Structure 1
Amino acid sequence: MAVQIKLLRVLQEKEFERIGGNTTVKANVRIITATNKNLEALIQEGKFREDLYYRFNVFPILVPPLRDRKTDIMLLADHFIQKYSKEHGKQITRISTTSTDMLINYHWPGNVRELENCIERAIILCTDGVIHSYHLPPNLQSRETDGSDTTIGGFKDIVANMEREVILEELKKTKGNMAKAARTLGITERMIGLRVAKYEIDPGWFKQRGKN
């Protein structure tokens, strides 16, 4: 609270004294502040001065949490990919479809900082120029993407996500040719057919895309 009183004086009187000094210094500044706290609640708790709050609250700009700005997630992800690809000497060409879905559907309790850390981790682990789902943190690979409390998933979800993504990537390379994809993966056509049905993958989409 003592610091708040001093800051209030700077805002009201536009003057202050340096630490250890006794000369009053005039201040002609504009102050921009940011917080992730509920200041009105802190005022009620007696932890934040009401007069200082109204001094700050001249032109408030409310920024919604990242989970409410779905369209910003991939824009920010692309920015962080460029930043950390250069920093770690990697050539990252794209993010897989499965990884994109995970990033968009996750609830991001840590907001932009958590997304940044997530992308840097993925780039460090990436070896083939593509960020896959298994490069993302485990909490993104489970079913807890919406922030709900569930014990279903865990290891089985991670394995399923990896399997689905490997099949998607191979179908993309073979333009939807399941026979070629099966041979490359070292499995039978029947097995890849079962997996395609299980994960609701449409090989025809890749065939159509290959014609364009």
Structure 2
Amino acid sequence: KLLRVIETGEFEPVGSNKTLKSQARLVVASNQDLQPLVEQGEFRPDLYYRLNMLKLEIPPLRRRKADITMLAHKLIRQLAERHGVRIDRVDRAFYEALLHYPWPGNVRELENVIQRAVIFCRGGVLTEDHLPAHVVMGPAAADTDVNGGAAEGPKSGTLTRQIALTEREIIEQALFRNNFSRTNTAKELGISRVTLYNKMKKYGMTSK
């Protein structure tokens, strides 16, 4: 029935024998290359060839580095307005960290990371300290770029800095899970509210 609707636009509503014709146009997206799946028998060829009329390939974000700064700038402005946060300036190191990260989750991941940074920004200046540790330090998968070469990225830094970044991210994630409740966050982390507050103050964080 779906193939018929795609090909002719004709269908019968549930409980009716009357044939109707739809003028709808389908826009279908996939994060996988469907052609190999068709050849492997994992995707129906009749459906694939009906859908594959006009194909647009959008490269992953890691291959569109020129777009990252532009997208980040737009998202910072939109999310700052949404959350009522004043952003006067963005450090260069903030953008550099975004450019070096491979973004396996593409634009959705970029939006989530920037939203977290905006929420925790106080003082009007976004810095790399507002980014999650895995973005600043780079995941293990980022050690090799898409061409198989060594990826250029932020330095690992001292052990003290790595520990601080990890601790900050753990606190951020716990705050998000507990809807920014300090009491519940402290309980989950097994520390007192005073200790949690002191750590949040140390890392320039505040609950929403």
Fold in common (TM above 0.5):
yes
Question: Is 1:68 aligned with 2:63?
Answer: yes
> Partners in 2 of 1:91 and 1:29 — Cα distance?
42
Match of 1:97? 92
Identify if the C-alpha distance between structure 1 residues 155 and 34 changes in structure 2 by more than 3 Å, giving closer, same or farther: farther
More helix by percentage: 1
Percent of counterpart pairs with the same letter?
Answer: 41
Question: Is 1:32 aligned with 2:27?
Answer: yes
1:157-168 paired onto structure 2 within 5 Å: 158=161
Q: In the alignment, is the contact (CA less than 8 A) between 1:77 and 1:119 conserved in 2?
A: yes
What is the CA distance between 1:18 and its match in structure 2? 2.5
Q: 1:139 aligns with which of 134, 137, 149?
A: 134
Q: 2:114 aligns with which of 112, 119, 123?
A: 119
Q: Which has the higher contact order (CA 8 A, sep 6+)?
A: 2
Q: 2:102 aligns with which of 101, 107, 122?
A: 107
**Stretch deviating more after TM superposition (60-69 or 38-47):** 38-47
Identify if the C-alpha distance between structure 1 residues 24 and 57 changes in structure 2 by more than 3 Å, giving closer, same or farther: same
- Which runs of 5 or more structure 2 residues have no equivalent in the other structure? 145-154, 166-208
> Partners in 1 of 2:135 and 2:84 — Cα distance?
25
Q: In the alignment, is the contact (CA less than 8 A) between 1:122 and 1:135 conserved in 2?
A: yes
What is the CA distance between 1:52 and its match in structure 2? 1.8
What is the CA distance between 1:38 and its match in structure 2? 1.9
Question: Is 1:8 aligned with 2:3?
Answer: yes
| Secondary structure, counterpart of 2:143 in structure 1 | coil
Task: Provide the alpha-carbon RMSD of the alignment.
Answer: 2.8
Q: TM-score, normalised by structure 2?
A: 0.66
Identify if the C-alpha distance between structure 1 residues 113 and 137 changes in structure 2 by more than 3 Å, giving closer, same or farther: same
Larger Rg: 1
> Partners in 1 of 2:119 and 2:66 — Cα distance?
25
> Partners in 1 of 2:84 and 2:7 — Cα distance?
50
Q: TM-score, normalised by structure 1?
A: 0.65
